[in-house]
Structure 1
Amino acid sequence: MTKNTRFSPEVRQRAVRMVLESQGEYDSQWATICSIAPKIGCTPETLRVWVRQHERDTGAVMEAHHR
């Protein structure tokens, strides 16, 4: 089992969606990620990687990322 199989694609998508939906409630994207990661059961760094991958996949650059 590789380390990429611990979380299903559905869990990853939900976690990224939570970051996107909650980013206005925090001072920075990192603060948002740090708040959500424990709820998912992953590290903030893991969630940050998922968010960055989502940005690359969709061509989206989140406004909070540029603060």
Structure 2
Amino acid sequence: MESTARYTPEMRERALRMLAEALPDHPNLTSATRHVAGLLGMSPETLRLWQRQMEANAGGKVANASEAAAEIKRLKRENAELRKANEILKATSVFFAKELDRP
């Protein structure tokens, strides 16, 4: 008995692309998988299996992409903290410059 494919290859590619795009916005792969699967009306397990198969076929490129996404997220957080610190330092320097100008 021959089984019929429920999803087209195009649907599979689209789902995997959406998953890759959603990874930076989620704390982990499971959360991103559930989100994308919910949007597409499919089982998260199906999407997870597709992702694992793609990762195995690509030699771990997806794992590296998720690591890169985590690094980008960390760097954005660090950048925001540095911007806040820079604003505080600017305000402090203005305050002390005014103090030096007083007679």
Q: Same fold (TM over 0.5)?
A: yes
Deviations 1:9-49 (A, max 9, x none): 10001101111111000000100000010222211011000
| C-alpha distance in 1 between matches for 2:32 and 2:46 | 13
Runs of 4+ in 1 over 4 A off after TM superposition: none
Instruction: Look up the equivalent residue of 1:44 and give its one-letter code.
Output: P
Give the superposed CA RMSD.
Answer: 2.0
Q: Which amino acid aligns with 2:31?
A: A
Normalization by structure 1: what TM-score? Answer: 0.83
Give 1:8's aligned residue: 8
The separation in 1 between residues aligned to 2:63 and 2:21, in whole angstroms, is 11
Q: Which has the higher helix share?
A: 2
Match of 2:92 in 1: none
Q: List runs of 5+ in structure 1 lacking aligned partners.
A: none
Count of paired positions: 65
Of structures 1 and 2, the larger Rg is shown by: 2
Partner of 1:43: 43
Identity %: 34
1:27 & 1:2 partners in 2: Cα distance?
36
Q: Unaligned regions of 5+ residues in structure 2, if any?
A: 71-103
